Amino acid sequence: LTLLQNLYSLSTKIASTFRFTVLDQRLSFCSKLCFAIGGAPNQVAGSATAFFLQIYLLDVAQINPFQASMVLFIGKAWGAMTDPVVGFFITKSKWTRIGRLMPWMVGCTPFVVVSYFYLWFVPPFTNGRFIWYLGFYCLYQTLITCFHVPYSALTMFLSADQKERDSATAYRMTLEVLGTLVGAAIQGQIVASAHTLKHCPHHNMSTGHLGNGSGAEIVKRIVYMIAAGVIGGVFLICTVVMFLGVKERDDPYISKTEKQIPFHKGFILVMRHSPYLSLTAAFLFISVAIQLVQSNFVLFCTYAVDLRDHFQNIVLTILVSAVVSIPLWQWFLERFGKKTAAFCGITWIMPFTVMLVFIPNLVVAYVVAVSSGLSVAASLLLPWSMLPDVVDDFRLANPHCKGFEAIFYSFYVFFTKFAAGISLGVSTLCLEFAGYDTGACRQPAQVAYTLKLLIGAAPVAFIVTGLLILLLYPISEDVRLRNKLCLEELRYVTHKSLLTEVERTSQCSCNCIRQYKAGDTCLSEMLPNKVFGSHDGLKWVKYQHTFHRKVTITRLLQETRQHQLQNAGGSE
């Protein structure tokens, strides 16, 4: 009777565990918030480097524009090349007690903070500064890749429900744009004094240089290091919050007994998936346009339109507008579809950037800042909201593949980073050819004209190209709904198969009891196709069917086995 009660409790436990791990995919507000907080520090640091690293290298570190362009291009290209490498190692990673992706993010965070701080440190020597900044920028890009790629792939391991993933992505984008705002605010407000005209010699504004006195040079270097230290502290705090509040879940659709797909085969399959190619190519051009505006905006305000005393407030206005508009775009994509939201959101920025080039006054600058924030929010939210749909589409086309999520995310980041690196390097080289004078208070007219092209005409051309490619993106709302229903049907079939298996277990237990009364122990028949293994008192049971399931149960199985063996020993 005790054995029968234990078996009944075991069956109930299996069913309840399955309902918890597969059917209940809802995420709590706390889980979504902690997940979103985890992505904020990357954007805090990325915002500071995007807006201020170029002018820092030119006016504070005072390396020439060609060397600055090489630092920006090689650093970005190096970071792009590390993305697929990190993705490869992630696919080979095994599950631990804290997940498969979490150890990467937690382990690399201290090293990211150290490399980021030294990126904003001016060494005491002058001849080797180019090597110093190139080395630390490449190191920072490598380490931030080890954080960003697993964090991006973590979206697929939060929940199997598309709606929950979209909701978590909206939380993430809101906090990431807020992180961009915080990064620009911290960096901008702290270092703004280093780029004002008060450091210029009043007797010769055309040829004077910022910070000719040694005291002014030291002040500029110190404020950049203070900003780097504050951002490093934010990075550590946010990572700890994510680690404590996010639980990584294994994929409920894939087979747990099949081997992972080889990386090169997975890469070929992913590169042949047309929705992924069209989405990546489209947002590659769009991200290049946004990157051009970000990296050259401070230079544009300083030297092209004489808004050097207002650039930090204009940047904050852009980012506040982006933060506020994230919920708007989330509602819009749920109401009208993601593809429609992409077209409406991205095109919004084009007329306003051109307006700022031709009407360069303070009022127009703030109007452009508000409208540009809407497009920045759309460009951040939509690709990360659409990429999980592509992964689901690939999963239905290749149901037996395992461990491919990191390939999607790592190569998406690779292509966008590489293109951004090329655009940054080329834009800085354009300033070199235009005659940019490192550290000068005023720049030649050719430099101002070049900056206007980099802010106005070039981004518009890239955005138009990206939107034309996005027309080829095949996953409409109808296709996305079909994929969602197919995955839910797959979940239902799996659930039904497991319940059938539990029934078989109950029937088998009756036979076992009869054999037990006859003096035979038949533990091998009690739970067919089982695999025993101990880990902190837990036992694993594998059910063999079309899509294998691995369900965690409690010590009840161990207690049942011990109870039977004790009774068998007593009979002997």
The answer to whether 45 touches 186, Cβ cutoff 8 Å, is no
In terms of C-beta density within 10 A (0-12 exposed, 13-18 middle, 19 or more buried), how is residue 309 classed?
Answer: middle
The torsion angles phi and psi of 535, rounded to 5 degrees, stand at -155, 100
Averaged over 141-148, what is the pLDDT?
90
Q: Indicate the pLDDT class of residue 251, thresholds 50, 70 and 90.
A: low
Of 496, 188, 222, 194, nearest to 317 by C-alpha is 188
Tokens of 114: 């150290």
Q: How far apart are alpha carbons 119 and 111 in whole angstroms?
A: 12
Residues 80-134 pLDDT 10s:
888 888 878 887 778 778 888 888 999 999 999 999 999 999 898 888 889 999 9
Q: How far apart are alpha carbons 390 and 173 in whole angstroms?
A: 18
Q: What is the pLDDT of residue 515?
A: 44
Tell me the helix, strand and coil percentages in the chain, rounded to 5: 75, 5, 20
Q: DSSP letter at 533?
A: -
Tokens of 343: 């077209």
Please name the residues in contact with 423: beta carbons below 8 A apart, sequence gap of 6 or more: 288, 291, 292
Work out the mean pLDDT of the chain and round it to a whole number.
74
Q: Indicate the pLDDT class of residue 79, thresholds 50, 70 and 90.
A: confident
Q: Which amino acid is residue 406, in one-letter code?
A: A
Give the number of other Cβ atoms within 10 Å of residue 281's Cβ.
18
Q: How far apart are alpha carbons 275 and 227 in whole angstroms?
A: 41
Please name the residues in contact with 381: beta carbons below 8 A apart, sequence gap of 6 or more: 169, 170, 173, 326, 329, 330, 333
By residue count, the chain amounts to: 572
Q: DSSP letter at 259?
A: P
Q: How far apart are alpha carbons 71 and 133 in whole angstroms?
A: 7
Tokens of 395: 């999963």
Residues 316-334 pLDDT 10s:
888 788 888 888 888 898 8
Q: Indicate the pLDDT class of residue 299, thresholds 50, 70 and 90.
A: confident
Lowest-confidence region among 7-11, 237-241, 557-561: 557-561
User: In the chain, pLDDT over 70 holds for what percent of residues?
Assistant: 73
Please report where in the chains the tokens 């084009």 appear, as a residue: 350
Q: What is the pLDDT of residue 507?
A: 52
In terms of C-beta density within 10 A (0-12 exposed, 13-18 middle, 19 or more buried), how is residue 260 classed?
Answer: middle
Q: What is the pLDDT of residue 534?
A: 33
Q: How far apart are alpha carbons 383 and 470 in whole angstroms?
A: 11
The answer to whether 190 touches 223, Cβ cutoff 8 Å, is yes
Q: What is the pLDDT of residue 278?
A: 92
The torsion angles phi and psi of 473, rounded to 5 degrees, stand at -65, 120
Q: Indicate the pLDDT class of residue 215, thresholds 50, 70 and 90.
A: low
Residue 203's DSSP bridge partners are: none
Compute and round to an integer the Cα radius of gyration of the chain: 28
The answer to whether 314 touches 68, Cβ cutoff 8 Å, is no
The answer to whether 254 touches 402, Cβ cutoff 8 Å, is yes
Q: How far apart are alpha carbons 125 and 541 in whole angstroms?
A: 63
Range ranked top by mean pLDDT from 260-274, 394-408, 459-473, 519-533: 459-473
DSSP, collapsed to helix, strand or coil, labels residue 207 as coil
Residues 428-474 pLDDT 10s:
888 888 888 776 677 888 888 888 888 888 889 999 999 999 999 98
Tokens of 292: 């051009």
